[in-house]
Chains A and B, each alone.
Chain A
Amino acid sequence: MNSQITQLASKYLLPVLIVISVIVFFRGHHHPGGGFIAALIAATAIIFNAMVTETGSVYKRLFSHPVRLVAAGMSFCFLAAFAGLLESRPLFYGYWTEIKLPLVNKISLGTPLLFDAGVFLVVTGSLLTVFLLILEEIEWK
């Protein structure tokens, strides 16, 4: 896609959308939002970027191949599910702690959040895998 406008837009939209995705991710437990929606926003940003540049540079800038993101996400989900079993509690039992941070008062951290992070990585990774493959196959004009 060679349009100057979209190229410029994607350049500035990418960081903005990533920040929005992080915000949406963290407000997910008590408000609308959460891992799935955050992952859709993040994946949209990256795929939009891949459409205007080329897929090779996107692969380079990601930390690893998207399939590994899926695997990392699956292992987060596994840990969150398994945490309860160690103390012979049921599957997916939620443990919570609260951390005080200077800027944002306090954050609650717990296994449900870990599960959500897993969902985030799985959804981002699988969407990126699919779309980057399709973008490579079809010549985008």
Chain B
Amino acid sequence: MKRMNWLGLGFLAPALLVIALFFLAPVIMTGFFAFTNMSTATGITGGDYMLNKSALRALGDAGLPDATLEKLEDAGYAVDEKGLAALAAQIDQETADEFARLHGGESFATRRDVERALKDLRQNRIRKTRDRKAAAELFKRSVLNERFGTEAEFRAALTAGGIAPRDHDQITAQAYTGWVWTTENVELLFTLPSTWRYAANTAIYVAFTLSFNVGFGLFLAISTFYLPAAQAATFRAIWFLPRILPPVLYVLMWKWFTWDTGFLSTVTGWFGMSPKNWMLDSPTHAWTTIVLINGFVGASMGMILFASAIRAIPASMLHASEVDGANRWQQVRYIILPQLRWPILFTTAYQTLSLLTSFEYILLATDGGPGRATEVWALAAYHTALNNYGGNLQYGLGAAFALVLVIIGILASLFYLRLFNFRQLVGKPLIEG
């Protein structure tokens, strides 16, 4: 490479670093997480080996014989150091010492045998049945509910418990508490009915919000175009307010507006209607509110873009259309709108992408409610991965949700790039011949 190129690369380095860190890395991590079963339970580092009741059930479902399961659960009773120490702590040192003298190193098949041995202690007999039972339990040896740091230790315990070696692999895999690679998330996405629901919600959200954004933005741009300059500027400034307002405040105002003690309820109360939460009382109302909340913010951007595009139309062209006999409506329909084709297309393209991934206003307003009626894809990803009601944050599944958005986003961007490049080709100015 030439020296000039290195120099350029040097200047670009900070930008490249930022891109790699904040744009590329999250995408790669998303793709990576999507194919794991990471969650709060597994953690994101390695894990231990431990069998619990539910793991046992799963093994049973997977076809492990009942005898093996029983062995896993109950490997008999052993008088060992560990049990004696526990006994000393629970009863006293003398009892433990005597028990060790008499039965140290022995194994018992059932608890009853242990209880009998405890009952038969000469000096420190445990008199109460309940205490004996509790004490006997201290010597129970089982692979169940015991945490092993390494696979080797766990396998050793299995061997000690008398589990047939051919079952070891299956049990070890089930006992692992860390994350593993899996395609389960993707399968889940396609099979869960709720996923399709979220997809449909997203389609509704994007379609309605976009239509409102572009339609209302166009309406504002065109109507302010025909207003005197000062009035138009005031109007545009007012419509721009939602965009510069902090989202939390803006949504809070909507909440005040729709609460059962809020503006709408108060006004409708004058006409005898009982107060209700106008935002969350039905899915239709929830959707209406969400589209309006997003729409008013989005429309301001369309308005600014379209207004400047209209002002870029040569005045003589508008004059010509008037002289040619076009009324206002015909002027808008035949002259202004066709010239706004590319700005409209651009706004639509741009906002489709940003709406697909945006959920902050929904999160603040309905949080996906009522029920899951307004839960869109991006919000579902957030809820699954980062704010799960159950408390088990499913990073893996959440990442799989996000990965779908990433893929759609990349495909759409490529498509749009081609589309807008095409525009340059068509719009190439011809030199006067």
Genuine A/B complex? no
Give the A-binding residues of B (Cβ under 8 A): none
Interface residues of A (CB under 8 A from B): none
